[in-house]
Amino acid sequence: MINMLHKMGVKSGVMYAAGFASIGLSFASWLTSQSIEQAGLDRADRWGIFVGQWAPTFFALGVALRIEETRETMREGREELIETSYTEGRMPSRAGV
């Protein structure tokens, strides 16, 4: 799933932003539910907790996407090193692989 998100162009920063937005939305939904609905504090707490539980998921996806981005950067660097070695007429070293 992470690889698919990465191929779709979703960046880790987007997921981090979604995590922080979820925290803000959690507070906003709690405040809105408490002030507009007449259901009481318990219902407002449930809304805030429900939306607040999204944040860890977004942060975890952000970390996983960051790892995928780093892996891709390392892969590209390795391929560039191999191409450079071949054009210079040397055999590439596999010591760092």
pTM for this predicted structure:
0.69
Tokens coding 57: 């998921």
Q: Is 90 helix (H, G, I), strand (E, B) or coil?
A: coil
Q: How far apart are CA 29 and CA 26, in angstroms?
A: 5
Predicted confidence at residue 93, as pLDDT, reads 60
Predicted confidence at residue 81, as pLDDT, reads 64
Which has more confidence, 89 or 8? 8
Which has more confidence, 83 or 54? 54
Q: Which residue, among 74, 73, 79, 21, has the nearest Cα to 52 in the 3D structure?
A: 21
Q: Where are the domains of the chain?
A: 14-87
Whether 66 has a pLDDT exceeding 90, the answer reads: yes
70 Cα distance to chain centroid: 13
25 contacts 49 by C-beta, under 8 angstroms: no
**Residue/partner pairs of 36-44 with CB below 8 Å, 24 or more apart:** none
Whether 49 has a pLDDT exceeding 70, the answer reads: yes
Residue type, 7: K
